[in-house]
Structure 1
Amino acid sequence: MQEEYIKWYSPNLNQDIDMLTFGHSGYPILLFPTSKGKYYENKDFKLIDAVQHFIDSGKVKIYCPDGIDAQSWYNKDIHPADRVKNHMWYDKMILEEVVSRARNETGFSKVITAGCSFGGYHAANFAFRYPWLVSHMFSMSGAFDIKGQLDGFYNDDVYYNNPVDYLPSATNGDLWNMRIVLGTAERDICKPYNEQLSAILNNKGINHWLDIRPNAEHDWPIWRQMFPDYLGQL
């Protein structure tokens, strides 16, 4: 399996960013880490191994950028307004530095976003904010209401990064063309968030798959089962 470590200075974040990529061709997938996770997390927890045959066969190329949750949503040492602003700089970095690279390297005009747990939030938020750039969104045990990280603070920046708030009024036609999977499990602590988002999508007539796995928890074993199933749709 072809693996590459990339490090660069991000002008959007004013700091260095690390990323691992896996594969040589195929659909570009942005795979986000879980809460405060690092760029190597999805490799360490064998999520990459679970889809190795898709990578080796040239069907997908996976991009695992570093996260900055510890500087944004989970940073209790700064004002909530600054937590959101730091996330927005991260979002801009993903858009301008990672997505542009993935599109150029693979030749695809759209990317796929994916992630487990808090990575599922990142995958969904990016996909729903930029639906003209995302063909598929695979969330595994995601949570989609960010207000719990902000100590009661709320402004327009929070609204536009909180899918359960802005999605009901979203009108971009590409949302209806996106392939969306909300993966969760019977005993998943995030199951209610997935059911809530599914209801919002149903109300808008946006086709999606709410995949509730039996006899499973909010943990890596079920995500390693889900991810290859979802890539099989490609």
Structure 2
Amino acid sequence: MGESDPRVSDLGFARVDLDRAARTGDPEVVYGAGKTPEQIVAILGELHTAHPDRAVLATRVSQEAAEAALTALPGVAHDPLARALTLGPLPDPAGAVLVVAAGTSDGPVAAEAALTARVHGAGAEIVTDVGVAGLHRLLAVRERLEAADALVVVAGMEGALPSVVAGLVGVPMIAVPTSVGYGASFGGLAALLAMLNSCAPGVTVVNIDNGYGAGVAAARIARRSR
């Protein structure tokens, strides 16, 4: 595809994929880490121009970039906990995603997953602070787990929560290890390995702190279920 290809917008520093929504059902998303505020604003604005009827998303956005976008792009919304920006209307939700977070410290990753699921066309809610150290808290929300079309289960430390959830309900589930934990958690590696080695069937695992990837997968499952 050359510079004149209508499926690509060449901004000089980035080639924006305008055809992704037609191929996959979802527009390209801006990964903000490592990009300047000006680059994030330019790419997000270009995506919004191409997809004015639905929200476009930028993840891992710094406070400086968020402030630049709020100034330059009318209608942009900033979710500081998720560290993300959206521009344009959220789609009507199809299907229900429930994001389950072990602890409050997992909140940024859980918020990223929930916002991503909403941008990608699913309804999403968050249940937090239901880690295995207080199992009664998880059991108290079992009906909500069963009612969801897809689950995103977020946990750091020893990463045990997805195994427990998968032993309680048969809902499609994406497990997200987080980098929360003390030294021997190795920045989330212990949780990642625990989730990959789960003895409960049906546990699908994404990379450490990848709330975005989990949110996309869960939204697609939820959309298809409806």
Q: Radius of gyration: which is bigger?
A: 2
Q: TM-score scaled by structure 2?
A: 0.37
Q: TM-score scaled by structure 1?
A: 0.36
